Amino acid sequence: MLAFLIKRAANAIFVMLSVSFIAFMIFRFVGDPVELMLNEQATQSQRDELRSRLGLDQSFIAQFATFVGNAAKGDFGISFRNQQDVMAMIAERFPATFELVLVATFISLVVGIPMGVITAIRRQTWYAETMQFVSIIGISLPSFVVGIGLILVFSVLLGWFPAFGRGETVQIGWWSTGLLTHTGRMSIILPALSLSLFQITLVMRLVRAEMLEVLRSDFIKFARARGIPARAIHFRHALRNCLMPVVTLTAMQIGGLIAFALVTETVFQWPGMGLLFIQAVTFVDVPIMAAYLCIVALIFVVLNAIVDVTYAIIDPRLRGADK
Amino acid sequence: MTDIHASVTARRDKPKGRLERLRDSDLWWSFSRSRSAVGAAIALGLVILTALFAPLLSPQNPYDLAALELWNAELPPVWMEGGQMPYVLGTDVQGRDILSGILYGTRVSVFIGIASVLVSLGVGVLAGLTAGFFGGWVDNVLMRVGDVLLSIPIILVAILVSSVAQALLPPHLREAGISVVLVLAIAMYSWVQYARVVRAQTMVERRKEYVQASRLVGTPARRLMLKHILPNTLTPVFVTATLNFGLAILIEATLSFLGVGMPPNQPSLGTLIRVGNQYLFSGSWWIVLFPSIQLCILVVAVNMLGDWLRDALNPKLR
């Protein structure tokens, strides 16, 4: 078990180092920071002085080491564009993205699981087949088109929900939440729905496949023979055995959702990290781009590692797994 | 008697044409029985053909700024009040015909999709063959690189590569270079999938007797890989390629929508949607709606074909 943990941690660290190397290379490639920070009249000695102060006269490897060291402390420098601390800017935007992802995950489970069960136990009916067909379409529709469609129908045509922004927010410590106000709750519905659509179809297909498998097993036959009502068999006995993969999928997808939220955030002008990143991209604001990349990769890698380790605890066969 | 005999042998000996062989195959049979596959193929064929012949079909050349007339701006589709021929689907704020924009835009989207599939397929198949055939450190390096790429969300990789490369392009190359950058940004991620599929298959094939025998008679490694092993790994590659084609179009559209893809003067479907999105609240819904529908038809059709192909080529499901 210890060997497995060490191997898994080494793997995660390797991925993070590679990602920070990519982030570092973006810094090196895009523009000369000295040119960006000084005005055109600066003398050569001023340039040299700034260069050595920023550590740019050191060797490539030493610079990379400094970058990784600072990044590990959460120091990504200041934004080129508005001269603020990058980490503070991202921390300010993080709650918006996190709440969006949380609500989207919640919707995907609440809608996806029952749909999966229904399509599995009522396979031949027209509504189950319709759901199957819609799910293929749902999985291939571009998420920004879904968002625009939702805005067109529910904001422009019907006027039920606001089309952009977060509504009013309440400050709790450093966390700003929109879930406690009416406008905040109304504002989160459309973006969360548009973000969760892909997830709903994933959950639904997974639950359906698992249910079909479980329903064929002996203990279900035995439960039927005992005369347990169908509803209890489906929801208490069968569904419970399907939930483990759903939990895994949900955990692994949260990282992907955080990254993909940037598309949704752009469509709905949702003030989260993703919108910050996209705005930074249009202005080539490298520190923000690098910080966002590292943070999203970190969330991704940590979640994957947790899922793997949990699996190893539950299933001892995986510990010595040598692929 | 002899006549019959002669005609029977003649029929048996006559080599079948390609078309006939195709009609006899399992694949065709499964295709013609699947309603969604036939529907998707027809839709996809229509979309690609109309895109290919866009210059002949579209009423206006959307790239030609001289053809735009501002007094024809924001015309609704013909079936609505105020709509005018030949602007069947209406015009945008610059008086550009929406239908022509869509046909030309589909061209750009399909071109980038095909190009990135070809690039990633080439790189991925070669990497997978090499990794699977030689094993050892080559395998380790290639697969670790793939692992790292797959551990970052695809959309991030594509945005970063595309935006950084565009910032680095010298101004006179920017116009022509963007589509190349986009193709590479998409291919950079998706080659891993081909590599993994081909590697797994190669590792199975290389232990088989025909490969051992061929190696024994002194066939060089390169010939062994390309002539003997490669053809036996191609079936799953086709499925991956079809599904990746849909994904590539989707990523390109998303990048263009986010503003790091095709620029407005050579728009793809994503760019058209990005531009139209700005007029969502002004009542001119047709500017954004029709390109969106076209994109959905394209992607859904490709995915349905891919889904069908995966099932049809899966020996377990036969």
pLDDT tens per residue, range B35-51: 778 888 888 888 888 88
Tokens of A68: 């990784």
Mean pLDDT for the stretch of residues B9-28: 64
* Range of A20-34, B38-52, B91-105 with top mean pLDDT: B38-52
First-residue to last-residue Cα distance in chain A: 16
A74 touches chain B (CB under 8 A): no
DSSP letter string, A123-162: TTSHHHHHHHHHHHHHHHS-HHHHHHHHIIIIIIIS--S-
| Model confidence band, residue B70 (pLDDT cutoffs 50, 70, 90) | low
- Which residue of chain B has the CA closest to A292? B156
Residue B29 contacts residue B232 (beta carbons within 8 Å): no
**The length of chain B, given as a count of residues:** 318
Q: Give the bridge partners for A172, in sequence order.
A: A175
- Which residue of chain A has the CA closest to B300? A140
Task: Give the helix, strand, coil percentages of chain B, each rounded to 5.
Answer: 75, 0, 20
Cα distance between residue B177 and residue A320, in whole Å: 48
**The length of chain A, given as a count of residues:** 323
| Model confidence band, residue B1 (pLDDT cutoffs 50, 70, 90) | very low
Set of chain A residues whose Cβ sits within 8 Å of the Cβ of B289: 152
Cα distance between residue B246 and residue A249, in whole Å: 23
CA distance B297 to chain A (A): 9
| B37 Cβ contact list (under 8 Å, min separation 6) | B31, B304, B305, B308
Cα distance between residue A12 and residue A18, in whole Å: 10
Selecting from A139, A145, A156 the residue whose C-beta is nearest the C-beta of B281 gives A156
Q: Provide the residue type at A199 as one letter.
A: Q
Tokens of B30: 């499964």
Tokens of A117: 């069960």
Selecting from A26, A139, A256 the residue whose C-beta is nearest the C-beta of B160 gives A26
Tokens of A269: 């002008």
Mean pLDDT estimate for chain B:
79
Ranges of beta strands (E only) in chain A are 170-172, 175-177
* pLDDT tens-digit readout, A42-88: 777 777 777 777 666 677 777 788 878 877 777 777 777 777 788 88
H or E element, residue B214? helix B209-216
> A4 burial class (0-12, 13-18, 19+ CB within 10 angstroms)?
middle
A43 touches chain B (CB under 8 A): no
Q: What single-letter DSSP state applies at residue A30?
A: S
Tokens of B67: 């053809």
Selecting from B167, B253, B289 the residue whose C-beta is nearest the C-beta of A142 gives B253
Selecting from A22, A278, A296 the residue whose C-beta is nearest the C-beta of B153 gives A296
CA distance A256 to chain B (A): 6
Q: Provide the residue type at A146 as one letter.
A: V
- Chain B residues whose C-beta sits inside 8 Å of any chain A C-beta: 144, 147-148, 151-153, 155-156, 159-160, 163-164, 167-168, 246, 250, 253-254, 257-260, 273, 277, 280-281, 285, 288-289, 292, 295-296, 299-300, 302-304, 307
Cα distance between residue B109 and residue B249, in whole Å: 6
Residue B242 contacts residue B302 (beta carbons within 8 Å): yes
Mean pLDDT for the stretch of residues B165-180: 76
Selecting from B144, B259, B296 the residue whose C-beta is nearest the C-beta of A145 gives B296
**pTM for the complete prediction?**
0.81
A251 touches chain B (CB under 8 A): no
Give the closest residue to A24 by CA, choosing from A290, A299, A296, A297.
A290
The yes/no answer to whether this complex scores an ipTM above 0.90 is no
* pLDDT tens-digit readout, A129-157: 788 778 877 777 888 888 888 888 888 78
Cα distance between residue B262 and residue B105, in whole Å: 10
- Which residue of chain A has the CA closest to B280? A152
Domains of chain B plus CATH, in order, are 20-317 (1.10.3720.10)
Determine the pLDDT at residue A319: 60
| A59 Cβ contact list (under 8 Å, min separation 6) | none
**How many Cβ atoms sit within 10 Å of the Cβ of residue A262?**
27
**How many Cβ atoms sit within 10 Å of the Cβ of residue B76?**
18
